[in-house]
């Protein structure tokens, strides 16, 4: 195809096309896009992506009548894992650009969610326009109820809304059952706050990526799968022990003391989880991707250093907080804080030193391309 082609690009970031209509992307060409829209329309006539695809075809026809060189394409992401879906969109976009020779594109979107991929598109080509498709509706009480019901039926939305609400109710009921109703509100608010922070900081996609890495490790038979499972069990035990510690040493103080009472019981198990996962990662990298060993060899040192420091600080803060049942006095708390600080910094320094030794070892063994070559 000649240079100067404009790509009419429609993006279905949450992959309703594949999830509902079983249509694989990329879809390139007017007829192929119409067939995809028909398949999705028959699977779910109410899906707004149907209108976006038809708008893309309409834009394609309008520019074709003006004599412009245009092509239309449809890309999809992943219905459950947005991070992996965005990587899939980037790979498919490169494939479409290489095959069509397009130099610019007009992005057709059915909402703000699809426009999250705008930086991905701009990294490949010039975006000369964005057109958002909004479906005209008559808002009323019945329609609002029906929209909410449809959203809750979507597994992606239900995970975001129903799971945190159900978890909050479960925590609240558990706090009452074990005779600590005064801590129920704090635990529920804290859990919801952590959830909102995870969503706001994008940690949910990080955990989705971690779960995908766990599945990949299992499918490829890598040892990290066993270490990751052990780490998850350590985290679960840490949460339970941390909650027991919080309930045992609960006092009506500020959020920091509440957090430290939980950390006092949980940090050891969380540190063990981090050390276990990082050890599995190091073994896998050493066996399969040894050139990256220097990047991961420092992880257990930093995790151990942070765990020791947090543990010492939690003991010190709780020792001066007038908790009658706490087993450490103020003097002992100061000693723990000082010793843990020194030990944590020393371990971190050792980790950096070991990382430099490993990097030099890899450089010594590697060739100019950066790939290590070993001799017997």
Rounded CA-CA distance 299/304 in Å is: 8
Which residue do the tokens 């001799």 mark?
A: 375
> What would the pLDDT profile of 2-28 be if each residue is shown by its tens digit?
457 889 999 888 888 888 888 888 899
pLDDT band at 208 (very low <50, low <70, confident <90, very high): low
For residue 104, the cross-strand partners are 6, 126
> 211, 375, 351, 204: which is closest to 282 by C-alpha?
351
> What would the pLDDT profile of 257-294 be if each residue is shown by its tens digit?
778 888 888 899 999 999 998 898 888 888 877 887 88
- Per DSSP bridges, beta strands 102-109 and 70-76 are unpaired
Instruction: Please state which of the ranges 46-60, 90-104, 183-197 shows the lowest mean pLDDT.
Output: 183-197
**Mean pLDDT across the stretch 52-78?**
90
Question: 266, 239 in Cβ contact below 8 A?
Answer: yes
Structural tokens at position 78: 């992943």
pTM to 2 decimal places:
0.47
DSSP 25: S
Report the SS3 class of residue 74: strand
Give residue 217's pLDDT: 62
**Mean pLDDT across the stretch 180-189?**
70
Rounded CA-CA distance 312/13 in Å is: 46
- pLDDT of residue 341 exceeding 90, the answer is yes
**Mean pLDDT across the stretch 190-217?**
66
For residue 132, the cross-strand partners are 109
Question: 26, 95 in Cβ contact below 8 A?
Answer: yes
Rounded CA-CA distance 283/33 in Å is: 46
Q: What is the rounded average pLDDT for all residues in the chain?
A: 79
Give residue 345's pLDDT: 93
**Mean pLDDT across the stretch 55-75?**
91
Give residue 372's pLDDT: 46
Give residue 342's pLDDT: 94
């Amino acid at each position: 195809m000649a240079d100067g082609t404009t790509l009419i690009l429609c993006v279905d970031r949450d992959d309703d096309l594949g999830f509902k209509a079983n249509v694989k992307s990329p879809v390139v060409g007017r007829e192929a896009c119409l067939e995809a829209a028909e398949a999705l329309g028959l699977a779910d006539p109410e899906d707004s992506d149907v209108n976006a695809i038809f708008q893309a075809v309409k834009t394609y026809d309008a520019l074709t009548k003006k004599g412009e060189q245009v092509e239309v394409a449809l890309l999809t992401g992943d219905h459950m894992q947005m991070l992996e879906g965005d990587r899939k969109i980037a790979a498919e976009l490169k494939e479409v650009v290489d095959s069509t020779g397009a130099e610019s594109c007009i992005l057709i979107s059915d909402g703000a969610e699809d426009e999250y991929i705008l930086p991905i598109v701009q990294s490949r080509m010039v975006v000369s326009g964005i057109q958002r498709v909004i479906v005209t509706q008559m808002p009323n009480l019945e329609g609002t109820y029906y929209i909410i019901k449809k959203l809750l039926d979507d597994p992606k939305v239900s995970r975001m809304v129903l799971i945190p609400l159900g978890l909050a109710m479960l925590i609240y009921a558990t706090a009452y059952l074990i005779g600590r109703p005064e801590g129920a509100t704090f635990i529920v608010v804290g859990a919801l706050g952590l959830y909102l922070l995870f969503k706001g900081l994008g940690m949910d996609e990080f955990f989705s990526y971690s779960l995908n890495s766990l599945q990949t490790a299992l499918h490829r038979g890598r040892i990290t799968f066993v270490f990751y499972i052990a780490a998850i069990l350590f985290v679960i035990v840490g949460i339970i022990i941390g909650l027991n510690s919080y309930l045992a040493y609960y006092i009506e103080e500020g959020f920091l003391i509440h957090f430290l009472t939980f950390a006092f019981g949980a940090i050891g198990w969380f540190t063990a989880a981090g050390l276990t996962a990082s050890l599995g990662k190091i073994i896998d990298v050493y066996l399969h991707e040894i050139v990256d060993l220097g990047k991961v060899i420092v992880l257990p040192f930093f995790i151990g250093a942070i765990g020791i420091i947090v543990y010492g600080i939690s003991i010190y803060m709780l020792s001066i907080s007038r908790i009658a049942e706490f087993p450490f006095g103020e003097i002992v708390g100061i000693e723990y804080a000082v010793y843990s600080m020194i030990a944590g910094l020393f371990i971190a320094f050792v980790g950096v030193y070991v990382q430099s030794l490993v990097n030099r070892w890899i450089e010594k063994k590697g060739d100019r391309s950066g790939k290590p070559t070993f001799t017997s």
